[in-house]
Amino acid sequence: RRRRSASDQGIPPFVACHRTRSTHDRLAKDPRATSKSEMSGVDEVTAATAATSLADAADETTAEQVVTPWDVAGGADGKIDYAKLVNDFGCQVIDEQLIARIEKVTGVKAHPFLRRGMFFAHRELDQIVSAYEKGEKFYLYTGRGPSSESLHLGHLIPFHFTKWLQEAFKVPLVIQLTDDEKFLWKDMSLEAARRLARENAKDIIATGFDPRRTFIFSDVNYMCTPFYLNTLKIAKCVTFNQARGIFGFAGESNIGQIGFPPTQAAPAFPDCFPHLFGTEKKSLRCLIPCAIDQDPYFRMTRDAAPRIGGYKPALVESRFFPALKGESGKMSASDPTSAIYVTDTPKQIKDKVNKYAFSGGRETLEEHRLLGGNLETDIPWKWLNFFLDDDDELAKIGKEFSSGAMSSGEIKARLIECLSPMIAEHQRCRALVTDATVDQFFSTAPRDFDSMFGELSGDPPAPPKEGEAVSFQGGENLVARGAPEPA
């Protein structure tokens, strides 16, 4: 079985529990279950999860795949069945037609993550594109739980894709750093969580975001009246039984954990950020790039949206980034050989790939030449699908490795050539990010609403000077210039 922590994959750990036996089958086995037609989105997730728990207790030997906030495990073959996840969650697969529409409306070639199916599923992404085609604006929202000093490559995946979305559609972005969540779930002091939020922000900024239309905030610093009003309204829409069903809360869960989910849901509504978007809840639609296991979580948010007067957020959802030691392995900070970190040296990258990257090659070179490599299990091949931009070269590598013409050593060498300059460039950019730069991204100084959309001209303004006062907390009186007025 494939079992690894969701947080170790660059996935925020406050996502929904899910075991992928058919929802309908499970509800049918439980005579107390409500029919699907009578359920809200939240009730459907709750009932499915509750039925799952009963089935698991009676059938512990079944090798089901498991996707929870803290644990990801494949089925009997160790793999995640993404088609089943899509079917069970009721989201949609991103097809070639939708990708073509995105390319047409943005005038930009689709990102490799989109072309190659790394981001493969969605909820109402087509509606976001349709609205954009009509001239309507939207904003992006993503986040990270700051739990480690250094990010690994899996952590950067959502930020690289989000940056592409931002530049292609020319829209603003909010990035949530959940220092409060890490304090509540981890053996970590609040001071440590707040420090890590700023350190992780430096790596996020180093991916190339522009402060003129990017706002990064930590929950502890930013919490303000507009944000808190939304968390309260969302919280009132979700019962404890529903929250327990979605998030797996138990008797030993502290009440901070139980009360946290609305804090992650709230940024999907623009009036949480009056200094960016004004005070109108329907001033903008929201698109959330996230991993597929967050889908049930945002079904909760989408269920609450019309009840609090907002738009349902749209989602674009990714597969999991495979661990270095194989899909059944785990990327863990306690094992530095389990992942490639953004702080690794060229020698460390080379050693890790050569020694620890799971190979789909054969036992001997002779056998490999005869039978060819296995693309289904080879981690260098899977990672090249993420990081090699050239489609033609990627296809050539896949053909040669699967035929046996390219050896395991050669495909590993190509991955090293791909990763080393990319990480070196990240380190160069990270070294340029100062505390003043972080302050600039965290600043709640009111923006000009229209200037955050469309083409940007010139260079970003300089970060605040030493000693210059910068506020990180939002407020009702900090309102963007030119933002839509409440209806």
Residue 471 in this model has a pLDDT that exceeds 80: yes
- The CA–CA distances, whole Å, from 454 to 129, 166, 262 equal 15, 10, 31
Residue with tokens 């350190």: 199
User: Which amino acid is present at 14?
Assistant: F
- The CA–CA distances, whole Å, from 347 to 350, 352, 358, 420 equal 5, 8, 18, 9
How far apart CA 312 and CA 123 sit, in angstroms, is 10
Q: 28 or 249: whose pLDDT is higher?
A: 249
Query: pLDDT above 70 covers what percent of the chain?
Result: 84
Q: Strand 173-177 relative to strand 214-218: parallel, antiparallel, unpaired? A: parallel
Q: 295 or 52: whose pLDDT is higher?
A: 295
pLDDT at 405: 97
**Average pLDDT value for residue range 278-306:** 92
Query: pLDDT above 90 covers what percent of the chain?
Result: 72
Residue 402 in this model has a pLDDT that exceeds 50: yes
Neighbours of 484 (CB within 10 A): 16
Least confident span in 22-31, 237-246, 384-393, 406-415: 22-31
**Average pLDDT value for residue range 397-426:** 98
Residue 23 in this model has a pLDDT that exceeds 80: no
Q: 38 or 398: whose pLDDT is higher?
A: 398
Contact residues for 315 (Cβ-Cβ < 8 A; gap 6+) = 91, 122, 123, 124, 125, 287, 288, 289, 290, 294, 295, 298
Instruction: Say what the pTM is.
Output: 0.86
Residue 54 in this model has a pLDDT that exceeds 90: no
Indicate the average pLDDT of the chain: 87
How far apart CA 471 and CA 205 sit, in angstroms, is 19
Q: 324 or 28: whose pLDDT is higher?
A: 324
Report the run of H or E that residue 283 belongs to, with start and end. none
Helices 391-403 & 379-387, crossing angle to 10 degrees?
Answer: 170
pLDDT at 291: 87
Q: 369 or 320: whose pLDDT is higher?
A: 369
Q: pLDDT tens for residues 144-196?
A: 999 888 899 999 999 999 999 999 999 999 999 999 999 999 999 999 999 99
Q: pLDDT tens for residues 239-261?
A: 999 999 888 899 999 999 999 99
pLDDT at 68: 61
Q: DSSP 3-state assignment of 94?
A: coil
Least confident span in 80-94, 123-137, 255-269: 80-94
**Which DSSP string do the residues of 375-421 spell out, in sequence order?**
TTT-HHHHHHHHH---HHHHHHHHHHHHHTSS-HHHHHHHHHHHHHH
pLDDT-derived band of residue 11, with 50, 70 and 90 as boundaries? very low
Residue 46 in this model has a pLDDT that exceeds 50: no
**Average pLDDT value for residue range 86-103:** 94
How far apart CA 30 and CA 408 sit, in angstroms, is 50
